[in-house]
Structure formats: C-alpha cells, structure tokens
C-alpha cells in the first residue's frame, strides 16, 4: 500500500523502516525544512530496545549512548545530598539499557531509511479527504496526492489528529509542568557519566556531560498556565535566582552561540483518546497516547508501536480495519499503564515543598537497597508480550 506518514521523528521513521521492509511504499512528510536532531536525554530500555535490536541497531545505539553510573541530587552549595547507583536500574530491567540524546536515537533510525524512502521536508498536510477507496491529501506547498492510508506520527501537537479528530483541547491533558532542554558547548564543571540534579520547590534543573565537550541542560518547573510563549522570559523568571549553577546553566542555554541546536521548550502533557483511528487514518506515538516526557519511555514505546503496526498490517493481508483494531487492542493496556505511572513521577521532577524535597532525597538513598528497589519494579519493567511477526 501507499502509506503517508506525517512526522519524521522516532515514531515516523521507525514506521517507515518497518513498512518499507514489509513491502509497502511509505512517504514521510515533515514540516521542518530538514531532519531535526537535538532534544533531551532519554533512558532507553524495555520493548523498544528489543525492537531496535530486531532492526539491527543495538550496536549503533550503544556506541552513541552513555552508561550513566549515578544520579546525584545536590544542594545550593554543590554538596551531594543523595546519590543513586545506576546499577539499581540494571538490577530491575537487565543490561539492555542505555541513555542517549533523543536526537541521536532519531538520527540512527533515520539513517536506515534515508536512501530508500521518500522524505518530503518543509511541507505539511492541510486537508485529509477519505472515502472507501483511499485518502486524498492536500499540502501547504505540494500538489494533492492519493494514498491508501495516512498515519499521524507527528507528536503531542499532532496536525493529523487536529484535522481528523478535532482540536488539541479535546485530547491534550496538561499536567501542570513545562520543560526546556538545550545542548551547550564548553560548559564547566563536567561530571562524566553522572546525572546531576538540583531542586527547589516546584523547580528542578539537571545537567549531564556529553561527548565533544557538550553538556545537556534540562529545566522542569510547575506552572498553572500551559502558555509556551516567550520561553526565555519564563525560564529567567523561574531559574535566574534559583541557586546552585542555575544562573550559569541558564545563560548557556539561552545563548544561541553556545547552543548546538534550538532550545526545546514545551508543556508536559498526556494525550488520551477513546479511539486512535478513523477510517483510513491512524495515530501512533505521542499523537495517540503521549505518556508525557517525564514518563521516560515514550521513545521506546514509539518504536514498539511502529513495529506492531507494520506487523498487524502484514497479518491482516491488506485489511487495514482489521489491522488497526488489532493494533489498538494490543497496545492500549500498555499505554494506559505507562500514562498512570508517569503522572506519579511529577513529584520527583517538580516537588512542591521543601519537606517533599527532603523526603525525595531519603527515597533516592533508600533505593540503593535492592530489597526496596524491587518495590518499584512494576513502574519500569514492561509487562508486555512482544509478538514475533517474522518480519
């Protein structure tokens, strides 16, 4: 089938890989003028890691990844208040685990399709008209085209979802936090293979050292308003006088000459929908069931969803309705479970009170005890039977 994919992120490029591998003709449409790298640091494990292995990408991902050794919570004077040995995570989920910038993972997947799949950059879908025989897409710049199916893999603020299902407000659920991320050059100090965090009530800043003398800075803060205009002013208002290295990290993140890419700034939200498809249009990844950035596994889930959609289309022998229904039935329980777990993590990233921060540091230290760590196993392990479609 001719399948249009809106979005050249992780979900879209992974889906294009599996569709092309199973005999379909995918076309990826991306509104950005070129492939976008950058983004925040992710922990990569679970079923997504397994699927990446089936794509033959495990070695490349490990080469680009970082084997973080500890997570350290520091005070305003830089003194370590609590530290968590990263071996705790490997005790819970095994050795199939690494940390890497989201853009590096996306670039690795993109390289598998760049020479085999049609990629349309600098354009976006403006209208979707479907009937029993196919879908006609109109674009901002290109001439209209016909496809058999359309897949919205265009993220939290999905354009396809808006055109087919309705306004964002019907499906996006703001969790009361915002996040910013930037990769900066030449920042000091560096703490290699350590995730450094500093928090005051309702705000947290973190940094992690990257190769080539780069540092990734992450800012999270609570806000009752989902407005994302003027990110520089919002970040200065929250972090300029927050203590520790906040003034230096903020100055570096807002300095265009020191950044490796654009500043990432967005709301922390979830997407909740009763159905992920309508006719010949299906949503995957964050467009359908964003668990929120703070959930920590959205990227792996997107890769998993791409594999399962291609597999179900293969099993259904061209019956897209049967494939879409099977896809949703298989994945919805997993996504809803991950969304529930993610909402419970808000207290870690944006703790409301000083007592809460004190208790959080106690909990971080306690998690080094293996017996207590097992209590958190359900929140990080994937209770999911990954099918083998033979593709």
166-188 pLDDT, tens digit per residue, is 999 999 999 999 999 999 999 99
pLDDT in tens, 299-323: 889 999 999 999 999 999 989 999 9
Where are the strands (E) in 132-202, listed by range? 134-139, 145-147, 149-152, 172-185, 194-200
Residue 16 near residue 28 (C-beta atoms within 8 A): yes
SS3 217: strand
Residue 96's pLDDT band (cuts 50, 70, 90): confident
**pLDDT for residue 274 is more than 80:** yes
Q: What is the CATH number of the domain that holds 110?
A: 3.50.50.60
Q: Does 243 map to a domain?
A: no
Distance between CA 167 and CA 251 in Å, rounded?
36
> Would you call 167 exposed, middle or buried from its count of C-beta atoms within 10 A (0-12, 13-18, 19+)?
exposed
- Determine, yes or no, domain membership for 149: yes
Question: Residue 135 contacts by C-beta under 8 Å, 6 or more apart in sequence?
Answer: 4, 128, 129, 146, 147, 148, 149, 150, 279, 280, 281
**Segments forming the whole domain that contains residue 296:** 2-66+98-172+271-346
Which residues on adjacent β-strands are paired with residue 278? 281
Assigned domain for 390 exists = no
- The mean per-residue pLDDT over the stretch 120-137 comes to 96
What is the number of domains present in the chain? 1
Whether pLDDT at 361 is above 80: yes
365 found inside a domain: no
Residue 258 lies in a domain: no
pLDDT of res. 382: 66
> What pLDDT is attached to residue 117?
95
Reference 210, options 61, 99, 116; nearest CA is: 99
List the Cα angle 163/7/134 in 5-degree steps: 55
The answer as to whether 207 is a domain residue is no
Residue 163 lies in a domain: yes
Three-state SS at 191: coil
For residue 21, tell me if it sits in a domain.
yes
Report residue 390 as tokens.
């033979």
| pLDDT at position 338 | 87
- Point out which residues pair with 101 in neighbouring strands: 41
CA–CA separation, 37 and 44 (whole Å) = 17
């Amino acid at each position: 089938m001719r399948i249009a994919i809106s979005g050249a992120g992780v979900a879209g490029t992974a889906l294009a890989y599996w569709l092309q591998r199973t005999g379909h003709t995918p076309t990826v449409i991306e509104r950005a003028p070129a492939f976008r790298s950058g983004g925040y640091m992710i922990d990569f494990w679970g079923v997504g890691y397994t699927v990446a292995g089936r794509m033959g990408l495990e070695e490349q991902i490990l080469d680009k990844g970082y084997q973080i050794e500890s997570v350290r919570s520091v005070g305003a004077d830089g003194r370590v208040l609590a530290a968590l040995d990263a071996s705790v995570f490997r005790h819970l989920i095994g050795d199939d685990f690494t940390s890497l910038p989201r853009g590096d993972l996306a670039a690795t997947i993109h390289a598998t399709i760049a020479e085999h799949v049609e990629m349309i950059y600098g354009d976006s879908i403006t209208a979707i008209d479907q009937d029993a025989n196919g879908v006609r897409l109109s674009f901002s710049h290109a001439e209209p085209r016909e496809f058999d199916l359309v897949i919205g893999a265009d993220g939290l603020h999905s354009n396809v979802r808006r055109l087919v299902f309705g306004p964002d407000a019907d499906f996006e659920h703001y969790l009361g936090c915002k996040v910013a991320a930037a990769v900066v050059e030449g920042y000091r100090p560096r703490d290699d293979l350590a995730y450094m965090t500093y928090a005051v009530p309702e705000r947290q800043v973190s940094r992690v050292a990257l190769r080539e003398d780069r540092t990734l800075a992450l800012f999270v803060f609570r806000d009752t308003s989902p407005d994302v205009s003027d990110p520089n002013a919002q970040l200065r208002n929250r972090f300029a006088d927050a203590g520790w290295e906040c003034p230096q990290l903020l100055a570096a993140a807002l300095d265009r000459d020191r950044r490796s890419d654009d500043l990432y700034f967005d709301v922390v939200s979830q997407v909740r929908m009763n159905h992920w498809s309508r006719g010949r249009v299906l949503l995957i990844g964050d467009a359908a069931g964003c668990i929120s950035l703070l959930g920590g596994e959205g990227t792996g889930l997107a890769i998993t969803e791409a594999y399962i959609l291609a597999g179900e289309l293969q099993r259904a022998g061209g019956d897209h309705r049967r494939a879409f229904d099977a896809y949703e039935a298989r994945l919805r329980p997993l996504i809803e479970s991950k969304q529930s777990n993610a909402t419970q993590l808000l207290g870690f990233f944006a703790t409301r009170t000083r007592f809460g921060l004190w208790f959080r540091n106690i909990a971080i230290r306690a998690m080094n005890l293996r017996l207590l760590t097992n209590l958190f196993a359900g929140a990080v392990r994937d209770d999911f039977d990954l099918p083998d479609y033979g593709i």
